[in-house]
């Protein structure tokens, strides 16, 4: 059996192949900037970091490259895509429209397991709000994204929308670490709770308004990042060039 076909739980109650688990783990390293924007990395190093073998990691890297999160450089290994604030802000507006589509369908269709999952996520966000760290929040955020897409009942959306959420999480993590701090994380948690509640009530208009407020909050981070953040945090190669002069 191909190692990439071995299945494990992905934490959402579904089964995931090793390639999907490798994707999740590498995505986490990118989102939390353990793999820094612009950093060079080799395939073998990724295998060691995430504890998964060659074939699933290759499959995950090809998918991340197609999503523009990793650059494959022949004979030079891999490079984590730098953060481009202008492009990422533009992609956020694409995410706005796609999130509205998903939220509308989820509010109309959520039932059974998807409703139960959303209730669980909302409970965890409320009960853990004061103590929650960014990494824990991102786990629930990704699970909520998947649950909303499951409730929307349109499988095509996962491969289309997920990279946009990953880009947003990396921006949010940078803003949290360098500018916003715990207060920004509390606001983020509250915006997500504001979204889940009308979806559970099947209040489509309120859910769409909450989705827009969440995107507006994410958009507000860009002006501060443009004005205040060290460019080397957007692309480590800039720091390398500065040291070489």
Average predicted confidence (pLDDT) for the chain = 91
Q: Note the pLDDT of residue 6.
A: 42
pLDDT digits (tens, 9 = 90+) for 37-89: 999 999 999 999 999 999 999 999 999 999 999 999 987 789 999 999 999 99
What is d(CA 158, CA 154) in angstroms, rounded to the nearest whole number? Answer: 8
pLDDT score at 76: 78
Q: How confident is the model at residue 209 (pLDDT cuts 50, 70, 90)?
A: very high
Amino acid 147: pLDDT: 97
Q: Which domains does the chain have, with CATH numbers?
A: 3-80 (1.10.10.10), 85-227 (1.20.120.530)
Distance CA 19, CA 128 (A): 31
pLDDT in tens, 139-182: 999 999 999 999 999 888 888 899 999 999 999 999 999 999 99
Tokens standing for residue 206:
């309120």
Mean pLDDT of 84-105: 98
Query: Taking 60 as the threshold, does the pLDDT of residue 14 lie above it?
Result: no
Share of the chain above pLDDT 70, in %: 91
Q: Which residue has the higher pLDDT, 5 or 204?
A: 204
At residue 239, the pLDDT reads 79
Is 50 exceeded by the pLDDT of residue 4?
Answer: no
Q: What is the percent of the chain with per-residue pLDDT over 90, rounded to a whole number?
A: 86
Q: How confident is the model at residue 191 (pLDDT cuts 50, 70, 90)?
A: very high
pTM: 0.88
Residue corresponding to tokens 């490259």:
65
- The answer on pLDDT for 232 being more than 90 is yes
- At residue 240, the pLDDT reads 59
Distance CA(77)–CA(72), nearest Å, equals 6
Task: Read off the pLDDT of residues 212-221 as tens digits, 9 standing for 90 and up.
Answer: 999 999 999 9
SS3 72: strand
Per-residue pLDDT band at 15 (split at 50, 70, 90) = low
Residues near 120 by beta carbon (within 8 Å), at least 6 away in sequence: none
Q: Is 76 exposed, middle or buried (0-12, 13-18, 19+ CB in 10 A)?
A: exposed
């Amino acid at each position: 059996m191909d190692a990439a076909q071995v299945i494990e739980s992905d934490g959402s109650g579904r089964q995931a192949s090793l390639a999907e688990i490798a994707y999740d783990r590498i995505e986490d390293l990118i989102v939390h900037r353990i793999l820094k924007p612009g950093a060079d990395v080799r395939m073998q190093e990724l295998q060691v970091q995430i504890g998964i073998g060659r074939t699933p990691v290759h499959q995950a890297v090809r998918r991340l490259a197609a999503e523009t999160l990793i650059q494959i450089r022949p004979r030079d290994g891999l490079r984590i895509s730098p953060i481009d604030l202008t492009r990422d802000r533009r992609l956020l507006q694409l995410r706005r429209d796609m999130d509205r589509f998903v939220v509308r369908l989820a509010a109309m269709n959520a039932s059974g397991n998807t409703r139960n999952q959303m209730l669980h996520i909302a409970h965890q966000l409320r009960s853990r709000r004061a103590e929650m760290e960014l990494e824990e929040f991102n786990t629930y955020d990704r699970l909520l994204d998947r649950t909303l897409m499951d409730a929307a009942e349109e499988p095509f959306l996962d491969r289309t929308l997920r990279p946009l959420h990953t880009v947003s999480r990396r921006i949010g993590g940078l803003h949290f670490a360098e500018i916003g701090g715990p207060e920004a994380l509390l606001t983020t948690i509250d915006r997500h709770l504001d979204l889940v509640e009308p979806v559970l009530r099947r209040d489509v208009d309120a859910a769409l308004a909450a989705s827009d407020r969440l995107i507006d909050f994410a958009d507000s981070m860009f002006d501060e990042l443009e004005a205040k953040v060290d460019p080397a945090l957007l692309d480590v190669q800039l720091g390398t060039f500065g040291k070489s002069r």
